[in-house]
Amino acid sequence: MNTFLAALFSGTSRGAIFALVALGLVIVWRGAGIVNFAQMGQAMFSTYIASTLITNGNSYWVGFFVALFAGAAMGALLDILVMRPLSNKKKTELLSSDSMRAAVPVIASLGILGALQALAGILWAAEERGFPAPAKQEGFTFGSNVMPFTAFDLFVISLVALTLVITTLFFKKTGIGLAMRATALNQEVAKLSGIRTNRTRTLSWAISGAASSLAGLLITPTSNLSPNTLDLVLIVGFTAAVVGGLDSPAGAVLGGFILGMVISFVTFYDTPEDVFLSILAVLLLVLLIRPRGILGSKDVRRV
Amino acid sequence: MSNLKAHSIARKSLIRTFLFTVVMLILGSRFDAYNQAQLALVLILFIGVLSVTILTGISGQLSLGQGALMAVGGYSTALMMINYKLSLWIAIPLSIISAGIAGLLLGVAAARLSGPYLAGTTLVIALAIPTLANRFMSVFKGDEGLPVDVGYPPAWFSNTFGEPSYEKWQIYVALPFAAIALFFASNILLSRSGRMWRAIRDNELAASLNGVNYSRQKIYVFIVSATFAGLSGALYGLRGLVGPSVYPVSLSLTLLTAAVLGGIRSISGAFIGTVIVVYLPDWIEKALGNFSLSEQVSNFLPALISSLLLILVVVINPAGVAGTRLHKHK
């Protein structure tokens, strides 16, 4: 029973972070039709910025907000410098086919990932370092029992919940959010109704960058920080997004929690070594049974 | 008529392969030991880059799991050489078959996927496969891996050609396989299969209207690409060790980088890209030799520059170095 509770709590807390990562992927996919494999590279980079600020004597919260801002700025910059020029090059021979139009942005995002990781290695060394948590990482005590739930877990879950509420309100209630949804639905029509689709695309990159930086800040206190630590988080986030439906924000959140539970229960009841195989199994299962994901819309193939 | 065509294609590929082999042999005999080892590495990775050229450049399927297929080839070879004492000349062809079977499985799953779905799924596969080494510890020996190498040449070889150095022997082992891979790749590209795969890449619907069974052809292209990757992985492991650390995810990305830098649609592009990727650290060291860079910087500089080159090539000219001519003709 105790193991079950521990797995459940740990799954909730991890799931919240994976939901955030998946949400970041979904926002860029909807806004730009690209799966951004560099996303957690960006998060790693901004977490290093926060880490540097904090070790130089600034408070946790200075590092925290600077990292969020850096994540957003980096996302916008990558869109303007790399992805936008790429999407304007549709007339070249290599990009003339559907399949390569889908493949080339992925290759570009992998290049960005490699560049960010190498740059982080040059700037901050390759050794792992810790990253502070703003709340206690010891379990709550209940009488003489130590509960498998920490103040930091509570912090993570409430912060992720807050982020989800804010993004939902942003997309549903604001004019810019409406413009972004229109662009996701049909870029041509959105353009014709006067929406500056280039700007909404850049904005989705920025929002996704901030969300994934938050994920980076929340996961590194338990996993340590190195140029490569967040690669695995990206894999999990991608799987979560596919499980929930790559074009559905609600699906991303659902997928995140499903993956959090799967990983947590495999870790507690089996061995951590089987985590990747179980992720692969979940991914293949969903792709074979329901390729559009649990909450995804019918039109999976976005050309 | 079609026979005649097949004949001329084969002749073209044969001439190409022959020239390639001669040039490599000459280079191998001129180089010092270090560059001989580098040349062997170029030959080995060239085969792996060809697997990306065929899969992504020709048929438009982006896979990030080529490293996992290389691991299949490497582990098969190592297990056969260690457990059954087979010579590498038997073990490698057999491990190509096992990589082909892995490619079949991957292809069956991949035939339903496209674009980023395929890229992401193969990335998960590339991460999950090496963990099998720890899951089945008794067979694969976990992180420690299986030590194998190319060994020494047989007596008749040394008697006829003289005793080659270890590095030179590495070239002699890799070159026949690289030549065969080149021959097959250049044949496939010019053949009916190559045309069908290009048709799938350009437009699946149009291809199927013209009688191409595209899900079956996708599986075929995965099998063919997997045999190339498996061969490359087998030779790559014979450089000393077969283990999870030898076939990391970054290996898949290195192959992709090489293919894109050189020109993802052409065989000569694959070779140029491989040379760039293998020699880039040396060139950087030579160029920056006067600045005393800390180890931290020099360790990561090649990766930084090759990644930036990758982004630049993709943004400026997605056809790559060897693709410029092709690009202008359009």
Q: Which two tokens stand for residue A215?
A: 């994920």
Instruction: Please give the span between the terminal C-alpha atoms of chain A, in angstroms, as a whole number.
Output: 48
State yes or no: pLDDT of A188 exceeds 90: no
Report yes or no: B121 at the A interface, CB cutoff 8 Å: yes
ipTM over 0.90: no
pLDDT of residue A239: 93
Report yes or no: A127 at the B interface, CB cutoff 8 Å: no
Whether A140 is in a domain gets the answer no
pLDDT of residue B217: 87
Whether A298 is in a domain gets the answer no
Domain count, chain A: 1
Domain that holds residue A26: 2-135+146-289
**How far is Cα of residue A285 from the mean position of the Cα atoms in its chain?**
22
Q: What is the CA radius of gyration of chain A?
A: 19
Whether A51 is in a domain gets the answer yes
Mutate one of B112, B117, B137 to test the A interface: name it (highest A CB count within 10 A): B117
Cα separation of A248 and B321, whole Å? 39
- With beta carbons under 8 A apart, name residues in chain B contacting A280: 124-125, 128
CA dihedral A160, A164, A165, A167 (to 10 degrees): 130
Q: Which residue has the tokens 């390729």?
A: A291
Interface of A with B in 214-273 (CB under 8 A): 231-232, 235, 238-239, 242, 246, 273
Report yes or no: B112 at the A interface, CB cutoff 8 Å: yes
The least confident of A28-37, A199-208, B221-230 is A28-37
Whether A296 is in a domain gets the answer no
- With beta carbons under 8 A apart, name residues in chain A contacting B60: 97-100, 103
Report yes or no: A161 at the B interface, CB cutoff 8 Å: no
CATH code, domain with A205: 1.10.3470
Whether A300 is in a domain gets the answer no
Whether A297 is in a domain gets the answer no
pLDDT digits (tens, 9 = 90+) for B291-330: 777 777 888 888 999 999 999 988 887 677 666 544 433 3
Nearest to B113 among A108, A279, A287 (CB): A287
State yes or no: pLDDT of A299 exceeds 60: no
Q: Which of A20-24, A225-229, B128-132 has the highest mean pLDDT?
A: A20-24
Per-residue three-class SS string for B189-241 = HHCHHHHHHHHHHHCHHHHHHCCCCHHHHHHHHHHHHHHHHHHHHHHHHCCCE
DSSP labels for A14-42? HHHHHHHHHHHHHHHHHHHS---TTHHHH
Could you tell me where the beta strands, DSSP code E, fall in A81-183?
A: 139-142, 145-150
Whether A101 is in a domain gets the answer yes
Whether A190 is in a domain gets the answer yes
pLDDT digits (tens, 9 = 90+) for B240-298: 889 888 998 889 999 999 999 988 888 999 999 999 999 998 898 888 877 777 777 88
Report yes or no: A95 at the B interface, CB cutoff 8 Å: yes
Whether the Cβ atoms of residue B59 and residue B221 lie closer than 8 Å to each other: yes
Number of H helices, E strands in chain A: 12, 2
Report yes or no: A277 at the B interface, CB cutoff 8 Å: yes
